[in-house]
Amino acid sequence: MNFYLKAQSAPPIFFSLTLSFILHFLLVIMVITLPSKSSKEKERAIPIRIHIEEELSSPTTEEVSVIEGKGDIDSKSTTPETKNRSLRSQDYTDIIEERLHAIKAKKRIEKIVKLRAEIKRDGSATGRSLLPRPEISSGTGSYAKEAGGKEKSIEDYRHIIERIIHSNWTYPEMARKGLKGSAVIFIKRDGALEIRELNSSGDRLFDYSMRNSLLKSSLPPPPEEMEVEVRFSE
């Protein structure tokens, strides 16, 4: 929800987001605070809450980390429970919990099946990593708090990850020279790196070196989630 607070670019976007937020918020308040006339109405309210919970509790990290350390999945699943408790009676809490766990389990299974199918198909698999994300030690978060503003901390962070990725970028001496390529990555709150796009250089070995440099890099948590375009040129 904090994107609204740091909209720096196009004012029209900021305006539309704020408007949307306000409208939405008002409607939700309406629904929640209006007195429930019957149990039938009560039941109707619950689907909305699950809808919200689903949105908050199924971030993209889960998609990637299905076969990774259980830590990711487990830690995420505790969040909706706390929210549930404050809202309705214990019965409804239980139903919601069950539904959430079922949804998560289903997603996990779907992901495993999908990856297995990809591996079987031609002995090769597409980009997603199965490696456990390395534990990111805390002692960060200082980026957001630094005096000098958000701009400076993003720039500092950019500089740091540039060095990390560069140090992991290797390429054979005898390989083709003069190549260029790029990749778009998304850095999550915990520093986990997701490769979203790889713009080929036209040479498989070079593309391989780009991808590897990103896969080998373990980044500290960023001041904010960000999309980064990394341009490689030999």
Question: Footprint of another protein on this chain (CB under 8 A)?
Answer: 3, 7-10, 12-13, 16-17, 19-21, 23-24, 27-28, 30-31, 34, 41, 44-45, 47-48, 51, 119, 123-125, 127, 129-131, 154, 158, 161-162, 165-167, 169-175, 184, 203-205, 208-209, 211-213, 215-216, 226-234
Where does residue 148 fall: left (phi above 0), alpha (psi -120 to 50 degrees), or beta otherwise?
left
Residue with smaller CB distance to another protein, 32 or 105: 32
Asked if residue 34 lies in contact with residue 48, where contact means CB atoms within 8 angstroms, the answer is no
Considering the complex, what minimum distance in angstroms separates the CB of residue 97 from another protein?
22
Tokens of 201: 């250089």
* Cβ count within 10 A of residue 65: 22
* DSSP conformation class of 209: H
User: What gap in Å lies between CA 230 and CA 194, rounded to an integer?
Assistant: 12
Residue with smaller CB distance to another protein, 147 or 174: 174
| Torsion angle defined by CA atoms of residues 213, 215, 221 and 227, in that order, rounded to the nearest 10 degrees | 80
Considering the complex, what minimum distance in angstroms separates the CB of residue 87 from another protein?
15
Considering the complex, what minimum distance in angstroms separates the CB of residue 62 from another protein?
18
User: What gap in Å lies between CA 153 and CA 56, rounded to an integer?
Assistant: 27
> Angle at CA 51, nearest 5°, toward 47 and 52?
120
> H or E segment at 151?
helix 149-167
User: What gap in Å lies between CA 142 and CA 145, rounded to an integer?
Assistant: 5
Residue with smaller CB distance to another protein, 91 or 122: 122
* Cβ count within 10 A of residue 77: 15
